[in-house]
Each structure stands twice: as C-alpha cells, then as structure tokens.
C-alpha cells in the first residue's frame, strides 16, 4: 500500500450524515480536516463523530475565498 502526504482537506457537509462518516478515515490517516457545514443535522448524527481540526459553521452558498486558504483538496457532500 502506498502513502500520500498529509493534506488539508475541506469537507463541505462534515456535520451531515455522510460527511460525519467520511471525516473519520481522513483524520485517522493523518490529514488535517477543515469542516464546513451549516450544522442543520449535527444533533441527529449516529455514533461518535471525529471532529475536524477546524470547523467553519456557515452555509455552502456563503463560502468565501478565505475559507479555502491553505486547502489542498475539497470534498463536497452538502445537499446530498
């Protein structure tokens, strides 16, 4: 198995059903995760959620250039 260098990954929708599950393996593999979510479903998640290094609480439609600063990759899971 090969290894990639650690990246800063913005996971849009990390506080939703799929995003919460998707964030865990990224953190476990040593990536720095920046979460972006409005948080509509944060009180309805099942199980233990692995938190990102940084959490931006805002609607995806309000994203600004500064929110992406230093980001290596974006995973868009909002509105699924």
Identify the CA nearest to 10 among candidates 37, 28, 30, 38. Answer: 37
Residue 20 lies in a domain: yes
Our count of domains for the chain comes to 1
Contact 36, 10 (CB under 8 A): yes
Residue 34 lies in a domain: yes
Say what the pTM is.
0.86
Residue 15 lies in a domain: yes
pLDDT at 42: 78
Distance CA 76, CA 59 (A): 12
pLDDT at 70: 95
Residue 32 lies in a domain: yes
Residue 29 lies in a domain: yes
Residue 12 lies in a domain: yes
Give me the domain span that covers residue 61: 8-76
Which portions of the chain are predicted below pLDDT 50?
1-2
Residue 2 lies in a domain: no
How, if at all, do strands 54-57 and 32-37 pair?
A: parallel
Q: For the domain that residue 67 is a member of, what is the CATH number?
A: 3.40.50
Distance CA 1, CA 16 (A): 30
pLDDT at 3: 56
Residue 3 lies in a domain: no
Contacts of 79 (CB under 8 A, 6+ apart): 13, 60
Distance CA 30, CA 57 (A): 23
pLDDT at 76: 96
């Amino acid at each position: 198995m090969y290894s990639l260098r650690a990246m800063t990954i913005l996971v849009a929708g990390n506080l939703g059903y799929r995003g919460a599950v998707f964030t865990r393996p990224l953190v476990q593999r040593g990536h720095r995760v920046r979460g972006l979510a409005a948080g509509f479903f944060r009180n309805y998640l099942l199980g233990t959620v692995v938190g990102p290094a940084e959490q931006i609480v805002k609607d995806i439609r309000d994203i600004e250039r500064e929110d992406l600063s230093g980001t290596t990759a974006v995973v868009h899971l909002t509105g699924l």
